[in-house]
Chains A and B, each alone.
Chain A
Amino acid sequence: MIFELLAGNLTHGLLLGGVYGVATMGLSLIFGVINVVNVGHGQFIMVGAFVTLILFTALGLSPVIAIPVALIIGMALGFLFFYTVMRKLIKAPELASLLATFAVGILLEELAKLIFGADFRGYYWDVGKIILPFTTIPMSKLYAFIGSIAIALFLYFWFSKTRSGTAVRSVIEDSEGARVCGVNVDWIYALSFAIGIGITVMSGVLLTMFIPVGINPYMGGAYTLKAFVIAVLGGLTSPYGAFFAGLIFGLVENGAYTLFALIPGVAPFSLTVSLAFWMLFFLLLVKPTGLLGKK
Chain B
Amino acid sequence: MKKNIVKYYPLIPVLAVYLIMFLIGFFMPGMWQMVALLAFYCALGQSWNIFMGMTGYVDFGYVTFIALGTYGMSLGITYFSQFEWLGMGIIVIGLILAMFLAALAALLEAAIALRLRGAYFAIACIGINEGLRYFIEGAKIWGGSEGLIFFGALTQSLGRETVNQLTTFWADFSVFVIAALAAFLNMHYMRSKIGYALTAVREDEDAAKVMGVNTTKYKTLAFLTSGLLGAAVGAMAWGLKLGHVYPGDVFVIHYTIECIVVVLLGGAGTLLGPVVGGLIYGLSKYWLAIIMPGFQLLIFAPIIIIIIVAFPEGVIGVLKQRVKRTALEKYIV
Contacts and interface: CB of A to CB of B under 8 A. Distances in A.
Interface of A: 31, 35-37, 39, 84-85, 88-89, 92-96, 98-100, 102-104, 106-107, 109-111, 114, 221, 225, 228-229, 232, 236, 260, 265-274, 276-278, 280-281, 284-285, 288
B138 A271 contact: yes
A232 B123 contact: yes
A269 B300 CA distance: 33
B155 to A, nearest CB: 30
Contacts of B260: 95, 98-99
B135 A271 contact: yes
Nearest to A281: B127
B58 A228 contact: no
Contacts of A96: 264, 308, 312
B23 interface: no
B134 interface: yes
A200 to B, nearest CB: 17
Contacts of A106: 297, 300-301
Given A92-B312, A267-B144, A274 B127 contact: no
B308 A100 contact: yes
Contacts of A270: 134-135, 137-138, 145
B134 A277 contact: yes
20 contacts: A89-B308, A94-B118, A99-B264, A99-B308, A103-B304, A225-B126, A229-B127, A232-B120, A267-B144, A270-B134, A273-B130, A274-B132, A276-B131, A277-B130, A277-B134, A280-B124, A280-B131, A281-B124, A281-B131, A284-B120
A228 B119 CA distance: 11
Among B116, B119, B297, B300, find the residue whose CB has the most chain A CB atoms closer than 10 A: B119
B277 to A, nearest CB: 13
**Chain B facing A: main interface SS:** helix
B37 interface: no
A271 B139 contact: yes
Contacts of B120: 232, 236, 284, 288
A94 B52 CA distance: 11
B211 interface: no
B130 A225 contact: yes
Contacts of A277: 127-128, 130-131, 134
Interface in B207-258: 253, 257
The 5 A-B residue pairs with the shortest CB-CB distance, nearest first, are: A271-B138, A277-B131, A270-B138, A274-B134, A107-B301
A216 to B, nearest CB: 15
A236 B127 CA distance: 15
A268 B112 CA distance: 27
Range of interface residues on chain B? 35 or more
A99 B261 contact: yes
B6 interface: no
B60 interface: yes
Nearest to B53: A95
A94 B60 CA distance: 11
Among A103, A273, A284, find the residue whose CB has the most chain B CB atoms closer than 10 A: A103
Contacts of B131: 274, 276-278, 280-281
B16 interface: no
B107 interface: no
Given A267-B145, A281-B112, A284-B120, A107 B305 contact: yes
A37 B132 CA distance: 22
B193 interface: no
B53 to A, nearest CB: 10
B305 A104 contact: yes
A281 B128 contact: yes
A80 B15 CA distance: 44
B309 A89 contact: yes
B227 to A, nearest CB: 17
B288 interface: no
